[in-house]
Amino acid sequence: MSKVAIIGGGIIGVATAYELAKLGEEVILFEKNYFGSGSTFRCATGIRAQFTDEANIRLMKYSVERWERLEEELGFDINFKQTGYLFLATNEEEVEAFKNNIKLQNKFGVPTRLIDMDEAKEIVPILNTEPFLAGAWNPKDGKANPFKTLFAYLFRAREMGVDAREYTEVVGLEHEGDTVTAVKFRNGGKIESVKVDAVINAANAWAPSINAMAGLRRDIVPIKPYKHQLVKTEPLEPGQAEPLVCPPSWNDSYIIQDGEDGGIICGSGIEHEPKHPWDYEPTYDFLVGVLRYAVRIAPPLKHAHVVRQWAGFYAKTPDKNPAIGKLLDNFYIAAGFSGHGFMMAPAVAEALADLVSKGHTKVPLDWDWYDPYRFERGELRSSAFQIG
């Protein structure tokens, strides 16, 4: 048994702690704020296997299979629902692109199909079908509650002995050559240190500063935070817009009915680099912009009251694919998840825990695709479709 430190108590860090504990490892998990306070509790709840490249499709197909069993495995209600994702095409070129994506997804067992607007209207009763030619529909995509999911993983991880500490910031790493030997952290007013055998950087938007602590260049994995906002309406009757509905050519704008209370979550690709790393301030421009799109997708929304608006970070790499793998002898990273870290967490956590503990995994995660050193080599992947 070795002692593994995980830095970052979002869904990736917490789920990886759980998976490592299952493998019998001793785990200490550090979160500088409260668990989930980074991107995780700000996400739009969406889970999809509708990607446009083999690596992400295969990873997400596996992840969706884990999501299907997660409630039973963790023993908690996490409100996972397979209510689908519906992408909408506004022109013939997009319809052709959808057909190609569907062919690729079907090849790897994801049951997406092209549907007409009559069927789309049956699935989303408040949909404005007029601007759209066709939809890419996968009924196995879905959504889950990020709060319940993180706390379910955390509860089970602690039960298996994980030392999970919140309000405990990691401030440094001690290393000898390519081996990290200890983690320094703030405990109240004091700086303490703990010897470890391996360290996982799961700090997402903050990951570059953790890499620097390990003696690496900050930009070895060039992750930048982008402020991404959401708006939520008052609860509507369930069944109005259960799938995530997105016309990608409308600035990646989307709506999805919250599986918990029936409010409609409205998102969009309108985003900004934050003015400073803790810039979580919602903006009026976004509110107006996102609602213009939302009402075009589903006109009855013009009668719904907005009850919340919030912001979080998409932690983006240049190709919008995460960096997952080994950076030094015993120093690993899983960060830079853009708009898809919540949905990927069950698969990524299992694969990463296997890598750290056993050196191999059955999870179909293409290590080469997500290699954290690909940016250094100038080998960008095709850009992952980034919305939730």
Ligand X SMILES: Cc1cc2nc3c(=O)[nH]c(=O)nc-3n(C[C@H](O)[C@H](O)[C@H](O)COP(=O)(O)OP(=O)(O)OC[C@H]3O[C@@H](n4cnc5c(N)ncnc54)[C@H](O)[C@@H]3O)c2cc1C
Footprint of ligand X (CB under 6 A): 7-13, 30-33, 37-40, 42-46, 169-170, 202-206, 228, 230, 312-314, 335, 337, 339-343, 388
Q: Residue 275 or residue 303: which is nearer to ligand X going by CB? A: 275
Q: Report how far residue 179's alpha carbon sits from residue 193's, in angstroms, rounded to the nearest whole number.
A: 16
User: Nearest distance from residue 223's CB to ligand X, in Å?
Assistant: 10
Q: Report how far residue 152's alpha carbon sits from residue 81's, in angstroms, rounded to the nearest whole number.
A: 16
SS (H, E, C) 41-68: HHCCCEECCCCCCHHHHHHHHHHHHHHH
User: Nearest distance from residue 96's CB to ligand X, in Å?
Assistant: 26
Q: Residue 134 or residue 346: which is nearer to ligand X going by CB? A: 346
Q: Residue 134 or residue 290: which is nearer to ligand X going by CB? A: 290
Q: Report how far residue 104's alpha carbon sits from residue 83's, in angstroms, rounded to the nearest whole number.
A: 21
Q: Residue 134 or residue 349: which is nearer to ligand X going by CB? A: 349
The SS3 call for residue 25 is coil
Task: Return all residues near 66 (Cβ < 8 A) that are at least 6 apart.
Answer: 346, 347, 350
CA 62 to chain centre: 15
User: Nearest distance from residue 121's CB to ligand X, in Å?
Assistant: 24
Q: Residue 51 or residue 137: which is nearer to ligand X going by CB? A: 51
User: Nearest distance from residue 211's CB to ligand X, in Å?
Assistant: 11
Q: Residue 325 or residue 339: which is nearer to ligand X going by CB? A: 339
Instruction: Write out the E strands in the chain.
Output: 3-7, 26-30, 46-47, 85-89, 113-115, 134-138, 142-143, 163-165, 170-176, 179-187, 190-195, 198-201, 224-235, 244-246, 254-257, 263-272, 306-316, 323-328, 331-335
Q: Report how far residue 385's alpha carbon sits from residue 388's, in angstroms, rounded to the nearest whole number.
A: 9
User: Nearest distance from residue 35's CB to ligand X, in Å?
Assistant: 7
Taking 3-state DSSP, the helix, strand and coil percentages for the chain, each rounded to the nearest 5, stand at 30, 30, 40
Give the containing element (helix H, strand E) for 295: helix 284-297
User: Nearest distance from residue 301's CB to ligand X, in Å?
Assistant: 18
Q: Residue 40 or residue 112: which is nearer to ligand X going by CB? A: 40
User: Nearest distance from residue 351's CB to ligand X, in Å?
Assistant: 14
Instruction: Measure Cα distances from 107 to 62, 101, 111, 307 in Å.
Output: 14, 10, 9, 42
Rg (CA), the chain: 20
CA 10 to chain centre: 10
User: Nearest distance from residue 133's CB to ligand X, in Å?
Assistant: 25
In Å, the largest CA–CA distance within the chain is: 64
User: Nearest distance from residue 31's CB to ligand X, in Å?
Assistant: 5
CB 101 within 8 A of CB 269: no
SS (H, E, C) 297-317: HCHHHHHCCEEEEEEEEEEEC
User: Nearest distance from residue 17's CB to ligand X, in Å?
Assistant: 11
Q: Report how far residue 88's alpha carbon sits from residue 130's, in angstroms, rounded to the nearest whole number.
A: 11
Q: Residue 135 or residue 269: which is nearer to ligand X going by CB? A: 269
Q: Residue 134 or residue 256: which is nearer to ligand X going by CB? A: 256
Q: Residue 31 or residue 371: which is nearer to ligand X going by CB? A: 31
